[in-house]
Structure 1
Amino acid sequence: MSPAPNVDPERELRGLSKRLKALRDGRDWTLDEVAERTQLSKPYLSRLEAGERQPSIAALLSIAQTYGVTVASLFQEGEQAPQVVVRGTQALLKPGNGLQHAGLSARAGEFNLRPIRVLVPIGREGEELYQHDGEEWLYVLRGRLRLILGREQHVLEEGDAAHFDARTPHRLVAEGEGDAELLLVATTSPRPLLSSYL
């Protein structure tokens, strides 16, 4: 079956590749992360973003579900509707500096707040202190947490919260017999936060 006269397949493919790249950049995900979430290979996704490969219907369905958009929106010109909700299935924990963390906003690059779920494992190795521009607020969901903040140390129980200047050297340590889980909100750009703290 030949395409409709007003449809240019090459132009559609170029538009799709740009939208896929924009969706991934908007969530600050790597190709490896998208591959894990979609169960598609990294080389295949890379070729889609480069406009060098035509996607299958199954691949488009998986990609759309991962980003929380419709398949049709992947081909629509103009601005994509912003993703407001992040489902639990999208917020996968990943490792970083001895912690497990998951971003809780698909729009973190657009706003000043960076909400993150953090799992601090018992027996986390190392003693490095981290610091970056901005401020942090954290809330302990589960377990017991020792917050090292400059020369001070604070032990936080479930339900406790802390708010501090992130330029102060700091470290999170799980206390007691199990891991500590917390919500952390930082006011800083995503890349400095992830590179310096996570």
Structure 2
Amino acid sequence: MTHTSNIDSATELRRLSRKLKSLRESRDWTLDELAERTGLSKPYLSRLEAGERQPSIAALLSIAQTYSVTVAALFQEEQQAPQVVVRQGQRPLKTGNGLFHTSLSERGGEFNLRPIRVIVPVDRAGGDLYQHDGEEWLYVLSGHLRLILGNEQHLLSEGDAAHFDARTPHRLVAEGETDAELLLVATVAPRPLLGSYL
């Protein structure tokens, strides 16, 4: 009985910590600002958001009043509708394997297709070939791209496309004096795709 109670308490504490952080970030408040509004210390609030401390009733009342929600709402999981549209500039460029890339979908865990915008720098270092499960389709938006695919090499220009089995060792190389930008759609789990692709 005690064991089950401890599990339930830990679950509630994690749920509360996630909700507290979400509420603060949705308002663009820093911990310092929240501390000033609630009258609670910054270290105390930080530990609550990290799930490292159980709050007092007084603290919960103060936090709920600050966010204009009920105490019960602090323990409720947020049900967010899946995002269908990704706006320009909404997803920042990341770097990996000498490339710049950004996901063009917020639905990564739901669907098999992974659309990605990729910029291949003209001075990309290294020469490693990558391979992973699934398939890839790419479309060159600008620049010139050399697609190394196994023992073959293909030169692609703006408007050209390629579709291949991603288990074949491959690499993207920008040709000429400018970066190559492309739209890439892959069918593969996100981590291998962003960690060992192209």
Q: Normalised by the shorter chain, which TM-score bucket? A: 0.5 to 0.7
Aligned to 1:197: 197
1:108 and 1:152 mapped to 2: Cα distance? 31
Contact 2:140 2:181 in 1 (8 A): yes
Aligned to 2:35: none
The Cα RMSD (Å) is 3.7
Distance 1:185 1:48, change over 3 A: farther
Pairs within 5 Å for 1:26-175: 50-51=50-51, 77=77, 79-175=79-175
Contact 2:146 2:154 in 1 (8 A): yes
Distance 1:47 1:172, change over 3 A: farther
SS in 2 for 1:140: strand
1:188 aligns with 2:172: no
TM-superposed deviation, 1:81: 0.9
Distance 1:47 1:19, change over 3 A: same
Contact 2:16 2:51 in 1 (8 A): yes
Cα displacement string for residues 144-187 of structure 1 (whole angstroms, at most 9, x for unaligned residues): 10000000111111011110000000000000110000010110
SS in 2 for 1:102: strand
Aligned to 1:3: none
2:20 and 2:104 mapped to 1: Cα distance? 20
TM-score (norm 1): 0.66
TM-superposed deviation, 1:108: 0.8
2:143 and 2:165 mapped to 1: Cα distance? 23
Contact 2:97 2:196 in 1 (8 A): no
TM-superposed deviation, 1:20: 8.5
Distance 1:126 1:81, change over 3 A: same
Letter in 1 for 2:166: A
Aligned to 2:36: none
1:177 aligns with 2:177: yes
TM-score (norm 2): 0.66
Number of residue equivalences: 157
1:39 and 1:160 mapped to 2: Cα distance? 46
Aligned to 1:6: none
SS in 1 for 2:163: strand
Letter in 2 for 1:99: L
1:40 and 1:180 mapped to 2: Cα distance? 39
1:48 and 1:112 mapped to 2: Cα distance? 37
Aligned to 1:4: none
Distance 1:168 1:40, change over 3 A: farther
TM-superposed deviation, 1:85: 1.5
TM-superposed deviation, 1:188: 0.4
Structure 1: which 5+ residue stretches go unaligned?
1-10, 24-33, 61-72
Cα displacement string for residues 87-143 of structure 1 (whole angstroms, at most 9, x for unaligned residues): 223211111011001111111122111111100000211110000000000010110
1:92 and 1:134 mapped to 2: Cα distance? 25
Moved runs in structure 1, 4+ residues, more than 6 A?
38-41
Letter in 2 for 1:151: N
SS in 1 for 2:183: strand
